[in-house]
């Protein structure tokens, strides 16, 4: 067997992950992240969390059962940020990736409680991006101040502050409040820091 293909075979049970921190979250070590994931997944076999840079990781499992547990959800909410998982692919270079996406909890204000159906709330979430998860208290209608949904949003665009709901016989606006909206850099096109603190921009400006 070709040596390269033999090495690729070693990643049969592998995923690619990206850690997205909330604004204000402090960076965490790979060991800290792995310990939290192990506690979350309760895996029984050896596995690796390999840092690649720019917040990306390769997750390599030695058992199909553990691999299945990890990929049960493509987004895992952690004590600090979220881990977004994708299928492992060959020839991945994190330093060539532009990643303007971030997972953001959104509060939907002024939506009457009779509209709090998961399909309706997900439809509103699609106006902002890709809906991922509806807050459990929202599903159970445990309070009526606002509905809450986790949305994957493109941070390269300014998010809208409101949306007109038009049913024909009645129309009204809902307003959005974004929790811990992450910073986005127009220089390197990734989330995690602002343009004025971008090291890439500083390097170019200093002629290094």
Please write the tens of the pLDDT for every residue from 162-202: 999 998 899 999 999 999 887 767 666 566 565 566 766 55
Average pLDDT, the chain: 87
Residue whose entry in the numeric block shows the structure tokens 């002024």 = 110
Cα dihedral 122, 127, 130, 135 sign: negative
Note the helical H segments in the chain: 3-9, 30-41, 64-70, 118-128, 136-139, 199-206
Q: Which residues pair with 162 in a beta bridge?
A: 175
Mean pLDDT, residues 35-48 taken together:
97
Domain 3-96 part of CATH 3.30.70.330: yes
Whole-prediction pTM: 0.58
Cα dihedral 42, 47, 49, 52 sign: negative
Calpha distance 82→173 (Å, rounded): 30
Phi, psi of 188 (to 5 degrees): -105, 0
204 pLDDT higher than 70: no
What are the boundaries of each domain within the chain?
A: 3-96, 101-185
pLDDT of residue 202: 56
Q: Which residues pair with 20 in a beta bridge?
A: 82
Task: State how far the alpha carbon of 11 is from the alpha carbons of 47, 53, 61, 82, 180, in Å.
Answer: 11, 19, 8, 23, 35
pLDDT of residue 27: 84
Cβ-count burial 18-33 (b if 16+ within 10 Å, e if not): bbbbbeebeebeeeeb
Please write the tens of the pLDDT for every residue from 77-124: 899 888 989 999 999 998 877 768 788 899 999 999 999 999 999 999
Please write the tens of the pLDDT for every residue from 110-123: 999 999 999 999 99
């Amino acid at each position: 067997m070709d040596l390269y293909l033999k090495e690729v075979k070693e990643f049969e049970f592998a995923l690619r992950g990206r850690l997205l921190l909330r604004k204000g979250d402090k960076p965490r070590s790979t060991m800290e992240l792995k310990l939290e994931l192990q506690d979350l997944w309760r895996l029984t076999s050896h596995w690796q969390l390999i840092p690649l840079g720019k917040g990306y990781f390769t997750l390599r499992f030695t058992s199909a059962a553990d691999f299945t547990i990890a990929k049960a959800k493509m987004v895992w909410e952690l004590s600090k940020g979220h881990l977004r998982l994708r299928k492992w692919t060959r020839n991945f270079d994190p330093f060539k990736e532009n990643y303007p996406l971030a997972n953001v909890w959104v509060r939907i204000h002024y939506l009457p409680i009779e509209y709090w159906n998961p399909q309706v709330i997900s439809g509103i979430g699609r106006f902002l991006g890709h809906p991922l998860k509806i807050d459990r208290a929202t599903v159970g209608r445990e309070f009526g101040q606002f509905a809450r949904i986790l949305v994957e949003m493109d941070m390269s665009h300014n998010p809208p502050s409101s949306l007109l709901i038009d049913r024909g016989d009645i129309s009204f606006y809902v307003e959005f409040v974004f929790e811990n909206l992450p910073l986005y850099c127009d220089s390197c096109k990734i989330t995690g820091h602002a343009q004025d603190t971008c090291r890439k921009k500083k390097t170019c400006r200093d002629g290094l």
